[in-house]
Amino acid sequence: MSDLKAFPCAVAMLLAGLLVAGCAGPRVQPLMPTPVLFSELERGPLDHIPVEQRWTPRRVYYATTREREPDLQRIDYNNNESDRISVGMSLIGFGGPDITWSELNEFSRSADRPKPVDLSIAGLIEAGYFTLDEDGNTLDPNGSTAWLISDLNASIESARDRDLLIYVHGAKVNFYNANAFAAQLDHFMGRDMTSMAFSWPTRQNIFAYGTGGDVRRAYRNSAALVALIELLARDSVARRIHIVTWSAGGRLVTQALSDLYARHADAGDDLRERFRLGTVYFAAADVPGDEFIRALPRIDQLAQRVVVTSSSNDGALRMAQRFMGGDSRLGQLREQPLSDDQLDTVLNAERLEVIDMSRGAEQRGFDITGHRYWFDHPWASSDLILAVRSDLDADERALQAQSTRILWALPADYPERLAETLSRPGLQIRRPD
């Protein structure tokens, strides 16, 4: 186990006081498949971790608009909407108490694992909460944001990469899921940066989403993400703030970034510099295409890079459009062409990259499909990691340019191209310490 002096004080508190802090129950899920970036290129995401930091759990900060369970003996959050934004930190275990660092390192670079590596919440600390006034401004009478920023900044300053990753989940998941996903993305990004889960109160059944209830929740809770980004941009020392969002979370993020721009457009500042948003990654996003295109000019003014992934056969998005209506989803390949105005808007976006995961399927011999391909398929997850983890452009990430400047695909020889491009002298995957 590492020297705790190298970590923020809350980590030591969490390790020393798990029985006091409580835990979020026995929910577990397996670690995502190893990205091809590691499984076929003779490198591991943990190879560079110093000996004194080689401990298997991983901390994740969180902000949630879920209601806290009333049981005072145990911290957990349910599916109800809260009028407050609770903040704290979870400790995510990888593989249980018996797994060694060497085993975790080997499992994290191997395509085939002899057994699953389950992720679980080993401990949870709630620091408190803040609320929003009618204008969306933060009200924090208990000083919860001071704790969050203080501990978060200590984490960022001690990290090898001073960037912050925010994960915004999709529908039908719980509080645990948001933290576990943030932890495994962080894990395969080399455990070099600080991660945070933004957990909004979706319910764990398709009817709550399909009938529109959780869609409305996504939009309502976008104001909390706006406030969080404003807080982090103002008070954190993060070099950049990246956002990865999946499925219905894309609606929340699209609305939040559009509103963030609207709140500050008249300030006269360079908003990209002010809010330090890096890569905003829309994975298999359940956002009506016309809605995203309307918001795109604003998002393009905020982020350093906007990445959208799509697939030809995403059953969840196809069903969402069929039963809920609206335009083709952002994560679907469109059947109807864009209007001239929409096409102009898309082509004028300076920071946009659209990755067609299905293009070239015949040459590859397989398609990249489903709703979970962005972390289930080793090729797709590799690009997500590089798009957030590095400053590499699309061609430097071994993607293949298509008919327009914004459109890219994974070539048939993607692993070989990736190995070649990443071996170029002077090319850096990890940002400087």
**Burial track 9-44 (b if 16+ CB lie within 10 A, e otherwise):** ebbebbbeeeeebbbbeeeeeebbbbbbbbbbbeeb
Q: What tokens were used for 7?
A: 């970590």
Over pLDDT 90: what percentage of the chain?
A: 79
| Closest by CA position to 354, among listed 398, 411, 394, 298 | 394
pLDDT in tens, 146-183: 999 999 999 999 999 999 999 999 999 999 999 999 99
Residue 18 has pLDDT above 70, yes or no: no
Q: Is the dihedral of CA 63, 68, 72, 73 positive or negative?
A: negative
| Among 41-50, 67-76, 286-295, the least confident range | 67-76
Position 430 scores a pLDDT of: 63
Q: What tokens were used for 45?
A: 């995401």
Residue 167 has a CB neighbour count (10 Å cut-off) of 27
Residue 30 has pLDDT above 70, yes or no: yes
Q: How far apart are CA 152 and CA 8, in angstroms?
A: 8
Position 206 scores a pLDDT of: 85
H, E, C per residue of the chain: CCCHHHCCHHHHHHHHCHHHHCCCCCCEEECCCCCHHHHCCCCCCCCCCCHHHCCCCEEEEEEEEEEECCCCCCCCEEEEEEEEEEEEEEEEEECCCCCCHHHHHHHCCCCCCCCCCEEEEEEEEEEEEEEECCCCCEECCCCHHHHHHHHHHHHHHHCCCCCEEEEECCCCCCHHHHHHHHHHHHHHCCCCCEEEEEECCCCCCHHHHHCCHHHHHHHHCHHHHHHHHHHHHHHCCCCCEEEEEECCHHHHHHHHHHHHHHHHHHHCCCHHHHHCEEEEEEECCCCEHHHHHHHHHHHHHHEEEEEEEEECCCHHHHHHHHHHCCCCECCECCCCCCCHHHHHHHHCCCCEEEEECCCCHHHHCCCCCCCCHHHHCHHHHHHHHHHHHCCCCCHHHCCEECCCCCEEECCCCHHHHHHHHHCCCCCCCCCCC
Residue 25 has pLDDT above 50, yes or no: no
Position 178 scores a pLDDT of: 96
HSE-up (13 A, CA, CB side) for residue 418 = 25
**Burial track 272-289 (b if 16+ CB lie within 10 A, e otherwise):** eeebbbbbbbbbbbbbbb
Q: Give the pairing type, strands 407-409 and 400-401.
A: antiparallel
Q: What tokens were used for 80?
A: 């109800």
Q: How far apart are CA 417 and CA 399, in angstroms?
A: 8
Q: What is the mean pLDDT of residues 260-273?
A: 91
The answer to whether 137 touches 48, Cβ cutoff 8 Å, is no
Q: How far apart are CA 74 and CA 25, in angstroms?
A: 9
Those residues whose C-beta lies under 8 Å from the C-beta of residue 309, and which sit 6 or more positions away, are: 281, 282, 283, 284, 331, 354, 355, 357, 374, 380, 384
Q: What is the mean pLDDT of residues 191-220?
A: 94
Residue 377 has pLDDT above 50, yes or no: yes
Q: What is the mean pLDDT of residues 74-87?
A: 94
What amino acid is encoded at 432 in this protein? P
Q: What is the mean pLDDT of residues 306-324?
A: 92
Residue 32's Cα: distance from chain center in Å?
A: 14
| Among 9-23, 127-141, 370-384, the least confident range | 9-23
pLDDT band at 198; cut points 50, 70, 90: very high
pLDDT in tens, 86-103: 999 999 999 988 899 999
Position 288 scores a pLDDT of: 96
Position 1 scores a pLDDT of: 35
Those residues whose C-beta lies under 8 Å from the C-beta of residue 3, and which sit 6 or more positions away, are: 52
Q: How far apart are CA 259 and CA 257, in angstroms?
A: 5
Q: How far apart are CA 33 and CA 107, in angstroms?
A: 10
pLDDT in tens, 408-417: 999 999 999 9
